[in-house]
Chains A and B, each alone.
Chain A
């Protein structure tokens, strides 16, 4: 076996180590189509250089996918980038950027089930790419907000028109963002947290 000796494996840099007081972590999932800016968003707010975790998809998973044809028998690796934000000395927040296709989600146990909520990142040039993702989150009861990553040449729709097109209820926030900017990405996360908080308040009243 050609596993590297344990001395040569790169670990976290000293400044990237969590304090021993770190007790628990929470996670938020950023989901969207290819090239919509998930990794950029993770990178713009993460305190560590974004890392990649991967999972191997077995034959059974590939069988459903006609694109591969029946002759394909090899395993496929699916990668997911993530970053980290220390909230307090005890609490850590992780952000996962995951591909929009649901057949990948089951590869990581409880990726969505345990998440506080999700950000659906959309590109108005390919709005329909995000339709299925939103439907899946609705089915699973995962609260989400919609962030429109503003590409310069993308069509701009008024929020009301976008809400109608996406068939989203009034309470689900839709906001513009530029994920290259830390402040803008942070605002998206804050919007999600405020939304989750409002849901919690509502839940406490009923």
Chain B
């Protein structure tokens, strides 16, 4: 039996037109979501802090009296460092909504963000070695 055949692509190549057959699988993770989510974001006017799924957030103050329930929840969850992805999961809020919440909290200096290490053109070998060493202990 011969497997089906693929064709390699290269960086910067024009995306191929989506083939209709590629999408016949069930829509994984898709649910109808009737909730209106824009309320939580408050007055953020579209300006958002540069926040990644794995930016670590740490609270640097107790919730002020003026804090919304969501802000108070973030501050409570981040008494120890926590990734934005985990915040999104524990709060059951979409990533983008958490981003808006954090933008406000960062501006108010109630939380601190620890930026992730992202892939560089020339990868940091000592970082890769550290990860390998950590995986070996699993």
Chain A residues packing against B (C-beta within 8 Å): 1, 3-6, 9-12, 17-20, 22-27, 33-34, 45, 51-56, 65-67, 74-80, 82, 84-88, 91-94, 96, 99, 101, 104, 107-111, 113-117, 124, 127-129, 131-132, 134-136, 138-142, 155, 157, 161-162, 164-169, 182, 186, 189-190, 193-194, 196-197, 199-201, 203-204
Contact = CB atoms under 8 A, between A and B. Distances in A.
B65 interface: no
A91 B124 CA distance: 14
Interface of B: 1-13, 15-16, 18-20, 22-23, 25-34, 37, 39-40, 51-56, 58, 63, 69-70, 72-73, 76-77, 80-83, 85-86, 88-91, 94-96, 99, 114-119, 121-125, 127-136, 138
A100 B119 CA distance: 21
A99 B28 CA distance: 7
Most buried by B among A132, A164, A203: A132
B13 A138 contact: yes
Contacts of B58: 20
Contact of A92 (B3, B10, B72, B83): B83
Nearest to B91: A9
A203 B118 CA distance: 17
Secondary structure of the B side of the interface?
loop
Nearest to B39: A1
Contact of B34 (A74, A86, A164, A199): A74
A5 B96 CA distance: 21
Given A131-B6, A182-B138, A193-B135, 11 more contacts: A18-B56, A24-B115, A24-B116, A25-B55, A88-B130, A92-B54, A110-B53, A138-B8, A168-B8, A197-B128, A204-B122
